[in-house]
Each structure stands twice: as structure tokens, then as C-alpha cells.
Chains A and B, each alone.
Chain A
């Protein structure tokens, strides 16, 4: 940074509020799409894994492999095919949510005590009713733990997508690094961490309202 340049120029932040809120919205959008699409795919794959347990190891194997590919490398693999686009960003972001989500969905549902399942069966529940009214509600706490981890990870990863022209608040980090300008850099860095903290808090509240019975403990 140039000498004499203050760490934070508050007037820069004041005059860029429009752009900051636009980037924050973009960050929210990229994260939400990734989590929603990730959940849909994860639920489908978990359903398969629960029905055919033999397929669980290959499913976690492949999603685990996706998870280990360095994020920048994964985006780099995709860019020649899908360009500098939101699609490239989302393919990467969704890939990283799958392992965490599937593990928690399958783990959560498998963790439902067999007696509870038997009781539901004895009461005349169909397998579909057992899934929706017994297994999923009881697994919700574990599933939500997975959603929280996946969301926080995704919010961090979104900043990296600045390198392929997306990025949300990560745009300010890249901008700040390239121009040696600390104000936007800190806006992006601090902003994305705060955003993660706020979203995580919101998820905790949602989880509590969805699982009122767990509050007793």
C-alpha cells in the first residue's frame, strides 16, 4: 500500500455502498443456489445410498474425490468448457457441498433408532410415511449440522470465484490485492467473514424452529 494511505478509507466505503450491497446480494445468490442445488443432488444420492447400501462407498468415494480437488484447479478445469460464467462457479461450488451433505443426510437417517422405526411400522406407517414423518424429522439436527458446514465453506469459496469473474464480496478482495488498496480488500475479507457468521446464526434459528423438541435437552 502506498505510504500515508490509511488502512480503511471510510469515505470510500460510504461512496461505494451501492456496489457493496450489490456484491453482497451476489454473494448471497451464489451461496443459495449452490446450497439448494447441492441439497437436491445430495438428497437424491442419499436416497439411492439408503436404498442400496452397496452404492454408498462409491458415492462418497466420488464426491470425496471432488472435495479434494483444489478449488482453483476445479474452476480451471471447467473454464475451457463453461467459460467465465456463473455456471462454472456453481458447478464448482455445488461439487464441494455434496460430500458433507450426503454424509450427514445418510448418517442422520441411519442414526434413527431401529425401535422408533419399528414402532412406526407397527402403527401402520408406510415406508414413505416413515421417511417423511419419522426418519427425516429425527435426522434433521444432523442434516442441519451438515448444511451449516456446507454453507460456511461455500461462503468462503464464493470469494475465490472472483478469479473467474463472479465472487460476490470476493470481488473486493481481488480488486484490493490487484490495486494494493486496503479499503476494498478489508471490505471483502471482513465482509465475507461477517456474512458467514450472520448466515450461520440464521441457520441455527431456522433449525431451532424446525426441531422444537430438541430445545428441551
Chain B
């Protein structure tokens, strides 16, 4: 059966209009919250792991080859394979289905763009400025904190944005490993052949990805140091 486009749009609208889809533990608000929670935590963990390493490498100028190539390795990591391996690890550690297998997939996906961008961001800070700060007697930690990070912040955030959009998109797959979040609508819709539910889920995920992208872009603009904004 090939439903016409018009009737399908109507079905999706009706699906969204159905108040029962907005209530309870399987409702849209809960699924969105689960999706945001999952993605947010994955990004926080990835930043905590990738940030210090990349800042150290960037500040010392060591390991540039590794930092840049991590991005290429990241692209080669198939998310679905990571989910499968994540499931094995989660079960072996007794962490159960759903949440943790998804987390084990998302964190490795989020790390590479954060490492690469943070490294480049710190490296690209004008060396003369860093030398001047050193000459003024700033300690290495102070240089990192008050010079390199603030000046590199827009680029660092751009890396986190790439990671975040990717994570929000990929978190959808978690539903395959019995996870919650918005992927539930798509995976359940596939299983039940309910096209309206599938499309509604896809729409919500795409929307959330766009919202993530737009909010990070705004954040990047807001964090450009005033001095640099003038130059640009």
C-alpha cells in the first residue's frame, strides 16, 4: 500500500494532535527529555575526556598528528557497530539495556571532533600573544585559562557543536538496543508499520538536531571575545 503524500501529512498531523501521544511515560515530552538527557550527558562526558587532553596537546604543541587524525578515525567508527559493542560491554558490566549501550556508542562518536577542534583552537592563538603573556610572568596554567581558552572558545565550541549535532542524530539508534528517546517512535513505528508514528519521530529528531545546531551557533557568536569581534 502506497499512501498518498497528502493523506500521510494528514495522518502525521493527526498523530501529533492526539493528546494521548503527549501523556505518560511514553509521551512526546518524556521522549524528548530522554533524548536531551542522553545527548547532554554524552557530550559532557566527551568534553571531560577530550577537553583536557586536547588543551594539553594544544598548549604544548605536541601530538598534533594524533589530534588531527583522531577526527579521521572517528569518521570510520560506524555508530551501529559501536552500539552493538556498547551493548556487549553494558551487559558484561551489568548495566542493563538502553541507556548505557547508547552512551557507549555516543561518547566515542563525540570525542574526535572535540579533540581536533580544541587542539586547533589553542594552536591557532597568536603565538606572539602567548609569548607576551609569558614575558609578563603568567604561569602556563594562567596562559591556558586566560589567553588560549578565551581566544579559542568559538572554535572549541564549534567542535562541541559538531559533536552535539552528531550525538543528537545518533542517539536515535539507541532505541534498537531497547533505549528510550525519540528513536523509540521510529523503531516502534517500523515494527508496527505505523507510518505516521515513524514520520512523527523522524520529524522530532530532525527538529531537535536543528535546534541543537542553531543554539550552538548562537552560543559561538556570543562567546567571541569583544576584541576579536572588532577584528572580524
Contact = CB atoms under 8 A, between A and B. Distances in A.
Contacts of B206: 69-70, 73
A63 interface: no
A207 interface: no
Interface stretch (B57-65, B120-128, B185-193, B221-229): B185-193
A71 B205 CA distance: 10
B3 A80 contact: yes
A177 B83 contact: yes
Interface string B152-192: 00000000000001001110110011000001001101100
B41 interface: no
Interface string B126-158: 000000000000000000000000000000000
Contact of B177 (A73, A177, A186, A190): A177
A36 interface: no
Given A188-B81, A193-B81, A76 B199 contact: yes
A68 interface: yes
A70 B88 CA distance: 24
Contact of B205 (A72, A163, A197): A72
A185 interface: yes
A173 interface: yes
A190 B213 CA distance: 32
Contacts of A95: none
B77 interface: yes
B179 to A, nearest CB: 11
A77 B88 CA distance: 30
Contacts of B49: none
B202 interface: yes
A5 to B, nearest CB: 10
A192 B80 CA distance: 10
Contact of A170 (B80, B87, B210): B80
* Residue of A74, A177, A186 with most chain B CB atoms under a 10 A cut-off: A177
Contact of B78 (A72, A83, A159): A159
A68 B210 contact: yes
A186 B5 CA distance: 40
A197 B198 CA distance: 34
Contacts of B18: none
Contact of B198 (A68, A79, A182, A193): A79
Interface of B: 2-3, 5, 8, 72, 75-85, 87-88, 91-92, 165, 168-170, 172-173, 176-177, 183, 186-187, 189-190, 195, 198-199, 201-203, 205-206, 209-210, 213
Given A73-B172, A188-B81, A193-B77, 18 more contacts: A68-B213, A69-B169, A70-B202, A72-B172, A73-B186, A73-B203, A73-B206, A73-B209, A80-B199, A81-B2, A81-B5, A152-B75, A156-B78, A159-B81, A160-B80, A160-B173, A176-B84, A189-B81
